[in-house]
Structure 1
Amino acid sequence: MNFENNLAFAKAQDNSDSLRKFRAQFLFPKSKGKDFIYLCGNSLGLQPKVAQDVLKLQLDNWANYAVEGWFEGEEPWMFYHKELKKLMAPLVGASEAEVCPMNTLTVNLHLLMVSFYQPKEKRFKIIMEGGAFPSDQYAIESQVRFHGYDPKEAIIEVFPRAGESILRTEDILAQIKENGEEIALVLFGGINYYTGQWYDMKSITRAGHEIGAVVGFDLAHAAGNVPVKLHDWGVDFACWCSYKYQNSGPGGISGIFVHEKHFNTDLNRFAGWWGYQENKRFKMEKGFIPEAGADGWQVSCTQVMPMALYHASLQIFQSAGSIVPLRNKSITLTAYLEFIINQVNIELGIEQYKIITPQNSADRGAQLSIIAKEKGKEIFDGLVANHILGDWREPDVIRLSPIPLYNSFEDIYLTGKALLEVSKQVLEL
């Protein structure tokens, strides 16, 4: 597509957008009565308008049924998670049995590593991307310490080459192969939170399995953002939060994936009564017997209110045709943002902004991470003052995420216009 840096072009794209109606289903933050252009869905998605209704429904169920709500009403809480499983599975390329909504992301990461990080003798190391989100770093560090290893010896981090911002797939695969006899677990993010790079999950999974390791992914920035095929790629396990691209609210419930090849294996796990065999759960008998599939990794009872919010958003995804049409729009919308940022540099006459997110759409999702070479924080604050809300990351990166469910091409054009004006003021050009 030949992009144009003008309002008429942006509006024309919006008018031909088959997904434009979904924007009206979300609430935008305001300041002084004016909506923000919201480009921070990679950190926290917007609230669906229906969120208050679904919470009211569950509050009414609580009021009307009290404890009987577990088995009474239109959606008994005992089985409520099964409604979500149907909608979650297509977003991550899984079967319903392979996914389950439960807990929060880092809790699930720990629970899954209990099962899938089994260090033995020489094979005890975990390989991960350097600069992963701190939750992953801390969880992995504490897991290796729990098993009696020094993180400096047990964790292999793969960093970009000197002078580069993103990882080369060949470097990841080479490190896996080079350390193959010592690696017990390959654990990467699906998309790096800082650079926005979407890793080649299929190739990483294949390489990990070739050297005899288990392979897992943290999909916090990938689930609901890009199409993944966890089952077909043979990924062993994965987990994700649902409050970023999937709009389930702050601290929203997490999801897990466990490949069906592990269902009938005798894996270690930290058991809890909600993971016990469903049809015998209330007999309260000794001796843990897991429920079939990913549900067997549940620990505590269903979190009804967070699950209801997630359910509301998942139904919007279903109405939009799940991930494929959203991805198609996302590719174009993010490319338009890239074009606009480059146009700002041209009009400023300097390369003030450098995009460190991969240029190839196959290597990124709905996010651009932009280095501001001069006075980045002042410029970011200027954008906020002009009702444009992205995300600031020290020391010099502005993250902007055009979300296909609720962002428009006009949003992108107006962001570029404001960025140019703010830059001229702050940089005194």
Structure 2
Amino acid sequence: MKKGYADLPLHYGTVPAWLAKRMALLGGAIVEAIVQEYGRKTFLQKLSDPFWFQSLGCVLGMDWHSSGITTSVMNALKKAINQRSSELGIYVCGGRGKSSRNTPTELLHIADKTGLDGNELITKSRLVAKVDNCAVQDGFQIYLHSFVVTIDGDWTVVQQGMNINDKLARRYHWLSSSVQSFTETPHTFIYGKNKGEILNLTDKDASTTKQGILELTKENPDRLMKEISLILSSHHEVREKDVNLKRLGAALVLAHETDVQDVESLLLLNGVGPRTLQSLTLVSEVIHGTPSRFSDPARFSFAHGGKDGHPFPVPTRVYDETIEIFDKALQRSKLGDTDKLEALKNLSKVSMEIEKNFKPSDNFHEWIENERKNSWKYGGKTIYGDAIENSSLIKKTGKKTNKSVIKKIDKNQLSLFD
């Protein structure tokens, strides 16, 4: 069963080292928390959900709608998971470009360690890539292939293709537990725009065609689920329509308008300030939330912002404190002390309780402006530099910000540090 795909605007460039390191640390903590609480199968199911994947990328500080979220998140997870594979029972293979071609070799190494059938896994990896690249010719050329496998033999694939003409990248998600056939209707549902006629040799009506000649088949609109309008958005900034304000508002109320001392007493999170509580609440939901909670991935960018400054700069000090809190909670739980891990789990529950009676107001832009205004207090960073108090510019380490740099920053980004 292919869990779906999402179309994303092409973004170029690399993730700065200061963010990549944090993504791996927090990503690893999130994966460990999910596996510890719900098991490896649940983690694979989450990874195969394009909405959840996008939400994870947002909570890790990536731009909420860009193609780079796929490469960056999978790189972070590969680094974090493979360092503790023996403990988690999960392995991540492949990646982008040359790394994708290393998948067969990596799978054989894993097979030697675990006793899994390496050749069978290689065959499945190749079939998944061939289906999306050849059997379904939709104009996207696969350039990233990440194969995630567990010691139980379950697997999921996240891969991405590029369409230069449309300047889009398309991400595809697969889940092994529901695959009945690679060559006939492996796509239970598809997210994305109906582009009209495509060559689809996996369609159930193509059985006679596969026996003889290939012909173009038209996607049946009735089989397409609602388009992910949020993920397909071309605009860079986070807008009100991209976020469920009732859900976001409840999380912000919990963090900033509830008596922190009462919350700390309830949740056993002593010493946690309102801003970190905001991030912890959103991370908690990524770990414990049900699928229906991820229909607005952009909301999770309110945990740690975005590297391009949308909706606000990445608050590195808050990010580090979030990582530290989750890491300590996980380590203590291994020793039998699960209080802090349960407290973190309860954050999302408390937020949903507040949400029931919460009425959204018109202060969405105030939330964003407040984050931008206070960004310097939390070690705010973007790919352009550091946030500065009472400055409309960006602090460039060791350099003066010149006009040629400013021209590359749109008006919204210039206002980040007002």
**TM-score bracket for this pair, using the shorter chain length:** under 0.3
TM-score (norm 2): 0.26
Higher percent of residues as helix: 2
Structure 1 length normalisation: TM-score? 0.26
